Amino acid sequence: MNVGMNNEQVITYLKILNFPLGLLINFNEVLIKHGIQGVLNLS
């Protein structure tokens, strides 16, 4: 999984929807808690 590209996509959606925080979840992990990444909209 290309995390950089997915991270940029989540940031784009956050900017369009004017949300301050989003979650990027990778379901291909053994433990789901290892696949959760918070993404901030700093703009």
Question: What pLDDT is stored for residue 4 in this prediction?
Answer: 78
Q: What ranges do the domains of the chain cover?
A: 3-40
Per-residue pLDDT of 1-43, as tens digits, reads 566 788 999 999 999 999 999 999 999 999 999 999 999 999 8
Question: What pLDDT is stored for residue 2 in this prediction?
Answer: 63
- Report the alpha-carbon distance of residue 28 to residue 20 in Å, rounded: 26
- Give Cβ neighbours of residue 35 (< 8 Å, ≥ 6 apart): 25, 26, 27, 28, 29
Whether the predicted model's global pTM rises above the 0.95 cut: no
Contact between residue 14 and residue 6 where contact means Cβ atoms under 8 Å apart: no
Concatenate the DSSP letters of all residues of 2-42 into one string: -HHHHHHHHHHHHHHHT-SEEEEE-SSSSSGGGGEEEEE--
